[in-house]
A and B are shown apart, each in its own frame.
Chain A
Amino acid sequence: MDRRTILKYTAYATGFAIAAPLTSALFSGCKAEPAAPDYTPVFLDADTYKSVAAMAEAMLPATKTPGAGELGVPAFIDRVLASYTEPDHQTRIKSGMTAWLQSVATANGGKAYHALEPAQQLSLLNTLDTESKAAAEALPTSGLSPEEMELQWPWWMSVKEMAIGGYFSSEKIGLEVLAYDPIPGAYQGCIPLSDVKATWSLP
């Protein structure tokens, strides 16, 4: 199914066919778990992996809840890219990522993204994020075919989705941070939000 339906994700449940493939699979999905410190990336080279880990941590830092790194999000991203991504999208993401990291290094005297100060990492990431969202928003009116649009989907939007999906579908967040309710027993359609501590963790 087309990855472009990510654009159109809505979480309503009709008990019928809802097309939200990667999104639904991800947030019901892949296991992000604390990565062994010696996790060896399969898809990304070692230096790129460090930068992707830094990007994930900048976006989802440790606060009163764990950060992306502690929950194994970087390894999750590498695994999804290695085995769960179609070849043309592997190429799209890898080439976009390589070009961006290259431009960052060039602008910073050869310093890789992961070697920059945290504040600068976050600032660069926010700029990239704003540009990527704008590019994604422009696609539906680009006149491109659906297939071409898919291949123009900004690489950062894909990696960001993997990072957020991996983080929020992890066991730690699913059981301890979000509201876990495996057997609700009933549907109550209109309760006070204050009765629930957070978003429900299960889709």
Chain B
Amino acid sequence: MFFNSQGKAEATYDAIVVGSGISGGWAAKELSEKGLKTLVLERGRDIKHGDYPTANNDPWDYETGELVPQAEIDKHYAKQNRTGYTVQQSHKHHFVKDDEHPYTEVKRFDWMRGYHVGGRSLTWGRQSYRLSPMDFEANARDGVGTDWPIRYEDLAPWYGYVETFVGVSGQNEGLAQLPDGNFLPPMDMNCVEQEFKKSVAANFGGRAVTMGRTAHLTQPNPAVHGSRGKCQFRNRCMRGCPYGAYFSSNASTLPAAAATGNMTLRPHSVVHSLIYDKETGKASGVRVIDGQTGETHEFFAKVIFLCASALGSTFILLNSQSEIHPDGIGAGSGQLGRNLMDHHFQVGAEGVYDGFDDRYYKGRRPNGIYVPRFRNVGTDKQADFIRGYGYQGGASRENWMRGIKEMDAALGADFKDALIMPGQWKMGIMGFGECLPYEENRVVLNKDVRDIHGLPTLTIDCEFKGNEMAMRKDMAQSAAEMLEAAGFKDVETYDRGANPGLGIHEMGTARMGTSAKNSVLNKWNQVWEAPNVFVTDGAAMTSAGCQNPSLTYMAMTARAVDYAVNELKKMNL
């Protein structure tokens, strides 16, 4: 149906971007800056940069505190609450209500997301790492999944390009497994972290410990970063940063796109399918339900960028069914919806440091230290698992919560007064491990369960398997070894269990590959079956690496836009 109040000409743009998160923001910026009239369709409400109502709240400013009432959690956030940190008074409005946006789990899968302008770029962890040459070669070398159709060299200049605009603070280390980048000055390590770094280098053959590479401006350059400000070390990032100090679509790419005059941003626009033109073999546009009015719209463009998140973009492809594509556009290879991956974590070790009792720190650093991958790198060969993992962690002094269980002191006056001062230094490191692509880890369309708009939903069937489980044993063990070697006491390992999704790095399901037989996308992120459709979010990933993935999505997006615009100029699209 075609209910546009305007005619087809008014509903036609040069480019359409679906989604305004970390990938969609980049597509919007690059397309607009290259002169294309670009329509950005965001399924949720608008959030303008600065519209962060809780940004300056103190704990005692809430009538009921950060705790969200159990009845509200039960009604709206049964799944979003599984992280333990997303559903809090100060940022729960950046996450979906599960009752409005249901999904079905064959096995537990924690799908965390926010439907609003900026998407998860408002709430992301901001850790920014490049994949390395060995990551792009891994599938071919191991005979796992399918080969990436690109290599590190294809993406390297685009990593540099996005790092500069994003503003990534970090330290170059010259590591093959974690390439250097264009970094702003790194944040500081505290006294105990510095000791840990020295010990790990000395005791583990030069193994690196580096400051987390994070998308925070430690030294803004107005010529590049505009009006974004320097990080104030408040660590209230998930509420939205009024300083624009961390990278989000809202603070960074969308304002850049708007400044060109070429972008039209349309919130409340739920794209549910592509319009396929069998004459041209391309998609002529997208179908939209207005999230507020329920009206149906169609919009048209020469190129379409799907940046709706891994599962969001895959949903649109699966739901674009027609006689020619009965199982959705891109389903011809049989790979659409398959090879769902996430990083597995929640495993590591922690310990207590004796010493530095007279030292403390100032500021709430929104970042930690990083131990780059060292397994199956260089001469290291693990018998029990392939690929590897990195650690994120940090040291801090205990606060009053140590009074619950970690003090031997008798309760009463001295106990209370002691809790006013900081306790011992503690340090923890937690592994983030690569997950292999498994065809049977997949999503399928579910037409029986409908969302608030009456649209079909997804059924997710995904689990971690033997390689991940074997890796976890080493993740706990190696963490403890490093802490013990550095002199930590009471070192304990932990494994809180691995549920896919909880890393909020879900990826795969429309992978890139070398042919239309083994993949959904080609080496330029074009859908083989509709080459004017580009998918440049996590869906495109052929393997996961162990690095936090957002920087890769940004680089892939910028690269794909550059290609698409050149092809348009050559009249090839």
Task: Report A's interface with B, CB cutoff 8 A.
Answer: 1-2, 5-21, 23-31, 33, 58-61, 63-65, 79-80, 83-87, 122, 125-126, 129, 133, 136, 146, 157, 160-161, 164-165, 167-171, 174, 177-178, 181-196, 198-200, 202-203
B363 touches A86 (CB 8 A): no
A-B contact count (CB 8 A): 276
**Contact for A1 among B70, B82, B214, B232, CB less than 8 A:** B82
Tell me the smallest distance from the CB of A172 to a CB of chain B, in Å: 9
List the A side residues contacting B504 at CB < 8 Å.
Answer: 17
**Contact for B411 among A19, A129, A195, CB less than 8 A:** A129
- In the bound assembly, the distance between CA atoms of A87 and B507 in angstroms comes to 36
- In the bound assembly, the distance between CA atoms of A178 and B400 in angstroms comes to 10
A19 touches B361 (CB 8 A): no
B362 touches A122 (CB 8 A): no
The interface-forming segment of B23-31, B56-64, B250-258 is B56-64
A-B contact pairs, 22 of them (CB 8 A): A10-B350, A12-B395, A13-B396, A15-B125, A15-B127, A16-B392, A19-B496, A23-B401, A25-B67, A30-B64, A60-B415, A80-B67, A146-B497, A164-B400, A164-B401, A165-B401, A189-B191, A192-B360, A196-B362, A198-B422, A199-B399, A202-B58
**Contact for A133 among B193, B399, B405, CB less than 8 A:** B405
List the B side residues contacting A87 at CB < 8 Å.
Answer: 70
B421 touches A13 (CB 8 A): no
A26 touches B393 (CB 8 A): no
B232 touches A61 (CB 8 A): no
Tell me the smallest distance from the CB of B154 to a CB of chain A, in Å: 28
**Contact for B416 among A65, A84, A157, A194, CB less than 8 A:** A65
A14 touches B399 (CB 8 A): no
Task: Report B's interface with A, CB cutoff 8 A.
Answer: 56, 58-71, 81-85, 88-90, 125-127, 187-191, 193-194, 212, 214, 232-235, 237, 345-346, 350, 356-368, 392-401, 403-405, 410-413, 415-417, 419-422, 426-428, 430, 494, 496-497, 502-504, 548
Tell me the smallest distance from the CB of B366 to a CB of chain A, in Å: 5
Query: Other than the known A167-B400, A202-B364, what 9 A-B pairs have Cβ atoms closer than 8 Å?
Result: A11-B401, A13-B367, A13-B396, A17-B345, A24-B84, A28-B65, A60-B415, A167-B416, A198-B421
A85 touches B70 (CB 8 A): yes
B411 touches A199 (CB 8 A): no
Interface of B is mostly: loop
B362 touches A188 (CB 8 A): yes
List the A side residues contacting B412 at CB < 8 Å.
Answer: 58-59, 61, 122, 126
From B361, B403, B416, name the one whose CB has the most chain A CB atoms within 10 angstroms: B416
Chain A residue nearest to B215 (CB atoms) is A15
List the B side residues contacting A185 at CB < 8 Å.
Answer: 232-233, 363
- In the bound assembly, the distance between CA atoms of A192 and B362 in angstroms comes to 10
Tell me the smallest distance from the CB of A119 to a CB of chain B, in Å: 10
Taking A12-B426, A169-B59, A171-B60 as contacts, is the C-beta distance between A192 and B358 under 8 angstroms?
A: yes
